[in-house]
Amino acid sequence: MAYLFTSESVSEGHPDKVADQISDALIDNFLAFDKESKVACETLVTTGQVVLAGEVKSNTYLDVQKIARDTINKIGYTKGAYMFDGSSCGVLSAIHEQSEDINRGVDKENKEEQGAGDQGMMFGYATRETENYMPLALDLSHKILIELAALRREEKDITYLRPDSKSQVTIEYSDDNVPQRIDAIVISTQHDDFIKPASKSREDIAKADEAMLAKIRKDLVEILIPRVIAKLPEDLKALFNDTITYHINPTGKFVIGGPHGDTGLTGRKIIVDTYGGKGAHGGGAFSGKDPSKVDRSAAYATRHIAKNLVAAGVCDEVLVQVSYAIGVVEPVSIYIDTYGTCPFNMTDGEIAEKVKTIFDMRPAAIEKRLKLRNPIYSETAAYGHMGRKNETVTKTFEDIYGHEKSLEVELFTWEKLDHVDQIKTAFGL
C-alpha cells in the first residue's frame, strides 16, 4: 500500500536559523584569523536582543557585536518595523575561555592523535532518489524557501515578503519506495501588513486580512511554485500536479515573525539541517562548533561516506553511523545499514569493515580530508548542511583594526564524489 512521507525546512529568517547563522559567522571569523581556534558558541535572539554565550580558545580577538549585526542585516532584518534589526538590536556577549579539562583531551602534541571533542554518535545518509543523493521531500522543501528568499530580495514579482518562513512537502511513495506524486505543500511566510482595513471594526479587519491571505495564496501558487518547478529535472517536474493540497499561511495573518514573534536558539533545527527525518540523527547540533567537535565533523564525514557508497553502486540507500568517546582518537564503532538495497552478496557488517579500510575516521584525519579548519561554515547555517553545491569561493574578513583578509576556501567538501573509484576498486565493482 502506498504511503506518505513529510519533511520540512525553515528559511534563513527563521529565528532559530538567525541564531545558527550568527554562531557560524563567529566560527568563520575565528578560523579566518586563527585556524586552530576551538569554539563552541551559542546564540539566542529575541525582540530587539541578541545574546552570545559559549567557550573559545583562540589567538585572535573579534568584534562579536559587529559580526552579529552584519549577519542579521545580511539576512534581511533591516527595518524597525520588524522589531528586530541589525543596526539597532542589543548584543550581549557572555563568551569565555574554553575549559582546560575539556581541551586537554582534545589537543595532543601529535595532531594526528587529536582526541574527539565529545562522546556521542553521528549519522550520515544518502539515497539515489535525487541528483544530490538527498531525500526528496527535504530537498524540495529547501528549494521552495531558497526561491522564496530570491523573490523577497528581488522585490519585483512579490513585494511584501519578510524574512521569516517555513515550508513542508509530503510525498506519496509506492510500496517499492518510489516517489509517485506530491500530496501536499505547506508554506508559511511572514509578510508586510499590506492591505489596511477600512475601519477598526472586526468586520473590516477580517475582510482586509482575508484579502491579504488570498493575494499571498495566489502569488505563492502561481509565481513561486512555477519558478521552483522550472529549475527541477523532468522526472521531478512530473510529481507536481493539479491535485496537490496547498496550505498557505494556514493560521492566517503572519506579520509578526522572526525573533520578535518567536525566540530563536542555536541548534534547534537539526533535522532540517540533515535529512528531514530520513535515516537517523545522533542529536548533536552543528552550528557554532569548530571541527574538533565530532558532532559536526563526523556528521559531515559520514555523509561523505554515504554519498560515495551510493554513487559507487554499493547500494541505493545507506545509513552510516560512527561513535566516539571524548578524548579518544579512534572511533568506538562504525555501523552500516543499506536497507537491503545492496545488489551483491555482502552483509552490512562486511561493508562496514571495508569502509574502515577506506576512510580514516580519526578526528584530525577528518579535518584534513574535508578541509574543515577553514572558514566555510556560514554557508551551511541555512537551507541544510547536506546536499549542497561543492565549490571554491573567495571570502573576505575584517579584523578589529579594520584590516581585511581574503581567503580562497572550498565549501561543502563532504559532498564531493572523490572516493567513488577507490570504493569500486575495494568492492570489485
269 in a known ligand binding site:
yes
262 in a known ligand binding site:
yes
166 in a known ligand binding site:
yes
What span, in angstroms and rounded, lies between the C-alpha atoms of 159 and 151?
A: 8
301 residue type, one letter: A
42 in a known ligand binding site:
yes
What span, in angstroms and rounded, lies between the C-alpha atoms of 33 and 376?
A: 13
Q: Nearest 5°: phi and psi at 258?
A: 60, -160
20 in a known ligand binding site:
no
221 residue type, one letter: V
55 in a known ligand binding site:
yes
Check: CB of residue 388 under 8 Å from CB of residue 274: no
74 in a known ligand binding site:
no
Check: CB of residue 298 under 8 Å from CB of residue 324: yes
DSSP 401: T
First to last CA, the chain: 34
109 in a known ligand binding site:
no
Element (H, E) at 258: helix 258-261
Hey, which residues does 393 pair with through a beta bridge? 409
Check: CB of residue 119 under 8 Å from CB of residue 327: no
293 in a known ligand binding site:
yes
155 in a known ligand binding site:
no
98 in a known ligand binding site:
yes
Check: CB of residue 341 under 8 Å from CB of residue 316: yes
What span, in angstroms and rounded, lies between the C-alpha atoms of 381 and 267?
A: 10
Hey, which residues does 321 pair with through a beta bridge? 123, 335
247 in a known ligand binding site:
no
CA-based nearest residue to 294, from 253, 317, 266, 322: 322
CA-based nearest residue to 324, from 316, 314, 333, 337: 333
79 in a known ligand binding site:
no
Which residue has 569554539 as its cell numbers? 39
What span, in angstroms and rounded, lies between the C-alpha atoms of 23 and 40?
A: 9
Cα dihedral sign, 210-211-217-220: negative
119 in a known ligand binding site:
no
Burial (CB count <10 Å: 0-12, 13-18, 19+), residue 394 = exposed
What are the strands of the beta sheet with 90-97, ordered from one edge? 90-97, 49-57, 38-46, 264-265
Burial (CB count <10 Å: 0-12, 13-18, 19+), residue 172 = middle
What span, in angstroms and rounded, lies between the C-alpha atoms of 64 and 71?
A: 11
Annotated binding site for ATP: 14, 164-166, 253-254, 262, 268-269, 285, 289
Annotated binding site: 14, 16, 42, 55, 98, 164-166, 253-254, 262, 268-269, 285, 289, 293
Annotated binding site for Mg(2+): 16
Annotated binding site for K(+): 42
Annotated binding site for L-methionine: 55, 98, 262, 293
